Amino acid sequence: MGLIEIHIAVLFFGLAGLFGKLVNQPPTVIVFGRVFYAMAFLLPALWIRRQSLKLNRAADYLALVLQGLILAAHWVTFFQAIQVSSVAVGLITFSTFPIFVTFLEPLFFNEKLRPADVLLALVTFCGVALVVPAFSLDNATTQGALWGTTSGFTFALLSILNRKYARSYSSLVVAFYQDAAAALFLFPFLFLPGPAVTVQDMLLLALLGIVFTGVAHSLFIKGLATVKAQTASIIASLEPVYGILAAALLLAEMPALRELAGGAVILGAALYATARKRD
């Protein structure tokens, strides 16, 4: 059941990238709306299931708040990547996260880093280099690639931390605390100058928050309780496939040949890294 839950979550995550183009708001506002509506979905869900928000230890409150900050950083950098470049560039470079998992897990679980892991990281870097047309911060695609890679790093960190708490608490409880903390951190950004929020924006953000966040986030965390982070990473490699296909069909955003080539290298390295760590 855990594998099915993660597959559904990844499909929703892949389609969520389109909202970076559909909603005419800065990434901080998009992510605030996303987590706000996710909380609105999770709170009644917790009440219906009679699940308490009380945690076992005081330190767990601080840990989940910290994870909420990481979640906010992950989604803000993700939508920033899509807005400054394209859905394809954002999703492809975000897909570097399994490589970061490979490097971070030895730090968290006292495992040895093998030379092959370093080689895979270099291959992944070559894939990112293919996506980037010019090594200049003035280039929109380069900016998108940097933001997307940062999003991949923060997601890798969050995935590893989620493994611990998914075994101690309900997925709904973990998701609620993370979304609430993210909303708290992002709330001040609502007062910065920007486009007026329209009814269409609010409806799209509600859809993003309830279906593509509240439901998807809960399913992903719940799946991690029985599925290893490496296995979840393999499944999550389908996210850019879903997102790029949807962007091509709905937004007429066709990825360039070099972006597809770079994406193939990144996904190939990520799949090999995660599959090898399962052995």
- pLDDT over 80 at 129, yes or no: no
Does residue 276 register a pLDDT over 70? no
User: Rounded to two decimals, what is the model's pTM?
Assistant: 0.84
Q: How far apart are the first and last CA of the chain?
A: 22
What pLDDT band is residue 239 in, cutting at 50, 70 and 90? confident
Per-residue model confidence (pLDDT) at position 274: 60
Choose between 137 and 38: higher pLDDT: 38
Q: What is the mean pLDDT of residues 197-208?
A: 94
Report the domain count for the chain: 1
In angstroms, the CA 225 to CA 171 distance is 9
Q: What is the pLDDT of residues 78-102, one digit of tens each?
A: 999 999 999 988 988 887 887 787 7
Q: What is the average per-residue pLDDT within 253-276?
A: 76
Print the domain residue range for 128.
Answer: 2-277
| pLDDT value of residue 233 | 67
* pLDDT score of 189 more than 90: yes
For residue 277, the model assigns a pLDDT of 56
- The residue to which tokens 């972006």 are assigned: 259
Give me the DSSP letters along the chain: -HHHHHHHHHHHHHHHTTHHHHS-S-HHHHHHHHHHHHHHHHHHHHHHTT-----SSHHHHHHHHHHHHHHHHHHHHHHHHHHHS-HHHHHHHHTTHHHHHHHHHHHHHTPPPPHHHHHHHHHHHHHHHHH-SSS-TTSHHHHHHHHHHHHHHHHHHHHHHHHHHHTTS-HHHHHHHHHHHHHHHHGGGGGSS-PPPPHHHHHHHHHHHIIIIIIHHHHHHHHHTTS-HHHHHHHHTTHHHHHHHHHHHHS--PPPHHHHHHHHHHHHHHHHHHHHHT-
**Do residues 105 and 111 lie in contact, with contact meaning Cβ atoms separated by under 8 Å?**
yes
Tell me: pLDDT of 40 over 60.
yes
Would you state the pLDDT for residue 278? 52
Q: Look at residue 229 and tell me whether its pLDDT is greater than 70.
A: no
